[in-house]
Amino acid sequence: MTKRAAFGTVDRLPSGRYRARYVGPDGRRRSKVFGTAKADAWAWLATAQADLVRKAWRAPEFGQRTVGAFAADYLVRDELRESTRSLYAGLWRLHLAPQWEDVPVGEVTPAKVRTWHTAATRRTGPTALAQAYRLLRSILGVAVADEVIAANPCRLRGASTPKATRPSRALTVAEAQTLADHLRRDRRTERYRALVLVLAFGGLRFGEATALRRSDVVDGDKLHVHRSVRYVGGRWLVGDPKTEAGRRTVSLPASVASALATHLERFVSDSPDALVFGTGAGTFLHSANFGQTFRRAVEAVGLPPVRPHELRHTGATLAAATGATTKELMRRLGHSSSAAALMYQHAADERDSEIARALDAMIGAASVVPSSE
């Protein structure tokens, strides 16, 4: 016996299971078979009717296209840089495909994303996991834009930002100089002294600094940044900086420019295309190799653990401490949004009380009246 309602029908099959049916706005009949609980069939109809009212209805068969199919289309998009495409392909293959390759996008729910993310946390590093989550969110975002699914199921708060093992810290001027001087005292590492100073006081990204050519050094104290390099998939990829704002000219402090001049004279050939911060053989410097040298120097001078990327963090914080505006920081660091620049300004603001105390000490010292004899 079939019971007709205002929207759709529910009937009982000879097997004892219930079938719900309705005609969609495209004129096609949709149906789904449930177990022996009639309420499940009615709930499915009610959901479909609510989607129609909210104008959120999607043809169920559209959602049968798999996440893997959407990923394949996403990874060949023209706007992806070659290095980005290679990174995404690796993230998909290693961290996403095993779970999501054959799953229809219509069956991806926030709960399933949360379960995957929780399990992945136990076997994946924080940076790779955050990158993989962002990629999954972007892939499913295409399904939303194509109106295949109504909303993106990637809704985990904070999942797109890697959980660092410790907060980044900026080196002091003295610490940065101590590291650079330590590298200078060893003939095996002296070629890295100028790189440390440029990263710490110029705020360049490592890939930007190691892509610099001799012709990019202008007037001795300016660096023309217009490319970046990274090692991906067993080969070096040279391309544009991370953001459009990354194309910029960075001025160096006089002392850093002097160190750079010495570096160019001793370690870089006269060719305009010679790498400024390459290896002894004139090839690109790998971040892993530099990282090992850098960590050994940190340990040797007795500093707390410092990551190479914190040299850029240092350059940004020191620039903010000079009183640079948000716009000036964005330009110097190659940021396309103000969020990061504001973070460094906040770090500088926190030193305001220390500055005030130092000024107070200076005032107190000047106010002491010598006793008369």
181-190 per-position pLDDT tens digit: 999 999 999 9
If pLDDT is split at 50, 70 and 90, which confidence band does 258 have? very high
| Inter-residue contact 204 to 312 (CB < 8 Å) | yes
Instruction: List the single range of 3-7, 49-53, 102-106 with lowest mean pLDDT.
Output: 3-7
What confidence score (pLDDT) does residue 185 get?
Answer: 93
What confidence score (pLDDT) does residue 54 get?
Answer: 78
Could you say which of 85, 191, 193, 312 is catalytic? 312
Tens-place pLDDT, residues 225-252: 999 998 877 889 888 887 777 899 999 9
Percent of the chain exceeding pLDDT 90 equals 54
Could you say which of 335, 346, 351, 357 is catalytic? 335
Q: What is the dihedral of CA 356, 361, 362, 367, to 10 degrees?
A: 120
Whether the pLDDT of residue 57 is over 80: the answer is no
Q: What is the dihedral of CA 207, 252, 342, 170, to 10 degrees?
A: 70
Residue written as token pair 């209805």: 57
For the ranges 156-165, 181-190, 333-342, 350-359, the one whose mean pLDDT is highest: 181-190
If pLDDT is split at 50, 70 and 90, which confidence band does 146 have? confident
At a CB cut-off of 8 Å and minimum separation 6, what does 37 contact?
A: 18
Task: Give the residue extent of every domain in the chain.
Answer: 2-57, 64-145, 173-312
What confidence score (pLDDT) does residue 175 get?
Answer: 93
Percent of the chain exceeding pLDDT 70 equals 88
What confidence score (pLDDT) does residue 116 get?
Answer: 96
Whether the pLDDT of residue 367 is over 70: the answer is no
Distances (CA, A) of 48 to 31, 41, 105, 106, 211: 11, 11, 17, 14, 55
Tens-place pLDDT, residues 72-117: 999 999 888 888 888 899 999 999 999 999 999 989 999 999 999 9
Whether the pLDDT of residue 370 is over 80: the answer is no
Mean pLDDT value across residues 163-192: 88
Taking all residues of the chain, what is their mean pLDDT, rounded to a whole number? Answer: 87
Mean pLDDT value across residues 112-133: 93
| Inter-residue contact 206 to 309 (CB < 8 Å) | yes
Tens-place pLDDT, residues 298-324: 999 999 989 998 999 898 888 888 877
Higher pLDDT, 147 or 68: 68
Mean pLDDT value across residues 277-295: 93
Superfamily of domain 64-145: Tyrosine recombinase, N-terminal domain (1.10.150.130)
The Cα–Cα gap between 160 and 31 comes to 38
Mean pLDDT value across residues 32-47: 91
Q: Give the three-class secondary structure for 293.
A: helix
Could you say which of 205, 230, 263, 332 is catalytic? 205
- Looking at residue 197, its amino acid is L
DSSP 341-370: HHHHHHHHHTTHHHHHHHHHHHHHHHHPPP
Q: CATH classification of 173-312 is 3.30.70.920, yes or no?
A: no
- Per DSSP, 219 falls in state T
The Cα–Cα gap between 164 and 186 comes to 32
What confidence score (pLDDT) does residue 29 get?
Answer: 87
What confidence score (pLDDT) does residue 299 get?
Answer: 95
DSSP 174-217: HHHHHHHHHHHTSTTTGGGHHHHHHHHHH---HHHHTT-BGGGE
| Inter-residue contact 184 to 197 (CB < 8 Å) | no
Active-site residue flag, 205: yes
Cα-atom radius of gyration of the chain, to the nearest Å?
Answer: 29
Q: How far is CA 95 from the centre of its chain?
A: 16
Instruction: List the single range of 10-14, 59-63, 326-330 with lowest mean pLDDT.
Output: 59-63
The Cα–Cα gap between 145 and 152 comes to 10
The Cα–Cα gap between 318 and 203 comes to 9
Could you say which of 117, 213, 309, 331 is catalytic? 309
Structure tokens at 258: 């002097």
Whether the pLDDT of residue 261 is over 60: the answer is yes
What confidence score (pLDDT) does residue 239 get?
Answer: 85
Whether the pLDDT of residue 193 is over 90: the answer is yes
Whether the pLDDT of residue 362 is over 70: the answer is no
Q: How many CA atoms lie within 13 A of 168 on its CB side?
A: 17
Whether the pLDDT of residue 27 is over 90: the answer is no
Tens-place pLDDT, residues 201-227: 999 999 999 999 999 999 999 999 999
Active-site residue flag, 335: yes
Structure tokens at 306: 């410092």
The Cα–Cα gap between 285 and 278 comes to 5
The Cα–Cα gap between 371 and 373 comes to 6
Q: Is the pTM of this model over 0.85?
A: no
What confidence score (pLDDT) does residue 357 get?
Answer: 65
Active-site residue flag, 344: yes
